[in-house]
Chain A
Amino acid sequence: MNRLWWPLGALAALLVLNVLVTPSFFSLRMQDGHLYGSVIDILKNGAPTLLIALGMTLVIATRGIDLSVGAVVAIAAAVTCEYIAGSGDPGSASTALVGMAISLGLCLVLGLWNGFLVAVLRIQPIVATLVLMTAGRGIAMLITDGQIITVNNETYRAVGAGFVLLPLAILISVAVLALVAVTTRKTALGLLIESVGVNPEASRLAGVQSRTIIWTVYVFAALCAGVAGLMISSNVSAADANNAGLWIEMDAILAVVIGGTSLAGGRYSLTGTLLGALVIQTLTTTVYTVGIAPEVTLVFKAVVVIVVILFQSPKVQSLFRRRRPAPPVAVAMTPQEVAR
């Protein structure tokens, strides 16, 4: 749990800063049975990033990376909106559900494609997913014909902008988080994913079906990106192939890394990813509330990343350890270090 102190500290610092600037930061109010407040806003706006970061965590745990999620977001948004806008009954619930099902089905195929390149052709994940990252946005533009497609469908709007006391987007992300936590931590799946990340060859020899596991995590990542794409586009009732999910893959990767999961694969932390996603979204919101030009957010993001990464790096950690007697576990090398 030691690694979680840094993201937790960063999050606490940001929250304190927010309270200092706006004393009413933590206040919540009820209106028409909906809960409103700055904290709720942060959670709602961070929901797509969290969702994608969850998929990314599992991919990174297998020593992979998925750069294509932003493009998948754009494709999911484009397909759904194009279907709804082009159907005979663009306002009905069934149209929205069919549209979403089609687009998630397509995301599944895109995930299979990434998984095929990585698990079967054994192409480096960073390049394999770069293909879809580059081509995907072009495909999304092709689907929408370069236009921003707007739709007017209440059912679809509910995914990103609806409320069940809390915004539905938050509930969806938390549900997926719980689902992933239960399926990977209460079964052997999490262990198998970590073993593939630590040493794919050794786990294959030990009888782990690494190919299937790698394939599964890429499909899961693409599905998460698909749902996030539905959230993002339904929140504004439009599909913008150019800007939907732009750079969200970078935010998701940062969330995972800030959360203490190493890009070298192996041990992963879902709690860490949750904290990382919250840090990134709180930071973005803080910059808005403090009144700095939103474009400058990037500078603060960079600074937070650099600080958190440096403090998590083994060298700096060992500096800290030298002052205190190290616990025996900390002396042992982690599998990643041995692998190097």
Chain B
Amino acid sequence: MTALSISRVPSRQLPVVATFALFVLTFGAGSVSFENFASGQVFANLFIDNAHLILLAVGMTFVILTGGIDLSVGSVLALSTMIAAAGVKAGWPVPLVIVLVLLTGSVLGLLMGLMIHKFDVQPFIVTLAGMFLARGACFLISVESISIKDKAYRALGMERIALGGGVSITNNVLIAVVVLVAAMYVLHLTRFGRTVYALGGSEPSARLMGLKVGFTKVGVYVVSGFCSSLAGLVFSFYTASGYGLHAVGMELEAIAAVVIGGTLLAGGSGYVLGSVVGALVLGTIQTIISFDGTLNSWWTKIVIGALLLAFIVLHRLIVRRTAT
């Protein structure tokens, strides 16, 4: 990028622009390398296969914007698939199961948020405990994987919505898009959202300004818990099963998506749309590796690590530029 274009883009948005460029680049690289890659359906599949990751990344963005972190998201996702599968198997009505799952995730988030705020314990440790608790709770329900056989529930996951041109999406994609739009609205057009940014900028300043620091601090963990349980529902639609070993290490992917998406881990700066593009970049890399067929899946981890590094160094440079 030339010096001219850098000066034109506000440095706050530069990482997001870079993420978007990276997405175009990786998708373009895939299209050039493989036949049939540059099709609408492959693009739509990115959303279908990563709807849960997009949801996790949206929730994680709220938390990271306040300068916190949520390590429990992958486990809460797994617990949600487990509750959903066990509930459906026990013959409970599907709407009840869905409400129960969303409630569990939100309450877990609420409890973690309260511990962080009321007892002044580091988010890292509290959500690490939450991660263990949720993962262990999965195995309390069942050590084995539970498949979902209920027709109505499966239909929710299988149903295809045609977009025209032979491209179709699932309900999961709709859910992810609705949540994304809602998150953008909340972050940019509500008092809660402004407080989230203020909190990440400087907590003492936010407090002195009379903002609702406590409410917001707890709130972001509720949002993340809700998003994680919704991601769990989406994942159970997608895989039609509940299992305690679903989404092991997914919290790292979500954090990676947020960082690649241009959000500063110190908080206060970043966009939820960037995180979603970050998640899509991770999805594209996986698609390329599966298209190639000869590359092993561990290359995904190495590439994600390298991308993380590149973006962290980019952040560093931008912060240094604005500081001087």
Chain A residues within 8 Å of B, Cβ to Cβ: 65, 117, 121-124, 126-128, 130-139, 141-142, 146, 250, 253-254, 257, 263-264, 293, 295-303, 305-306, 309-310, 313-316
Contact = CB atoms under 8 A, between A and B. Distances in A.
Interface of B: 69, 115, 118-122, 124-126, 128-133, 135-137, 139-140, 143, 244, 252, 255-256, 259, 265-266, 296, 298-302, 304-306, 308-309, 312-313, 316
Contacts of A299: 132-133, 136-137, 139-140
A121 B137 CA distance: 40
Summarize A's interface: helix, strand, loop or mixed: helix
Contacts of B312: 117, 123, 127-128, 131
A133 B120 contact: no
B132 A126 contact: no
Given A295-B139, A296-B139, A302-B133, A138 B301 contact: yes
A133 B305 CA distance: 8
Summarize B's interface: helix, strand, loop or mixed: helix
21 contacts: A65-B124, A127-B259, A130-B255, A130-B256, A131-B309, A135-B305, A136-B305, A141-B296, A142-B298, A146-B298, A295-B136, A298-B132, A298-B133, A298-B136, A299-B136, A300-B136, A305-B132, A306-B115, A313-B119, A313-B121, A314-B120
A305 B136 contact: no
A176 B124 CA distance: 27
Given A124-B266, A295-B143, A310 B119 contact: yes
B73 to A, nearest CB: 15
Contacts of B124: 65, 126, 253, 263
A224 B120 CA distance: 31
A299 B133 CA distance: 5
Interface centre among A131, A315, A316 (most CB of B within 10 A): A131
A190 to B, nearest CB: 22
Contacts of A300: 136
A302 B129 contact: yes
A263 B313 CA distance: 24
B313 A121 contact: yes
Listed from nearest, the 3 A-B pairs whose CB atoms lie closest are: A135-B305, A138-B301, A298-B136
A238 to B, nearest CB: 18
B122 A305 contact: no
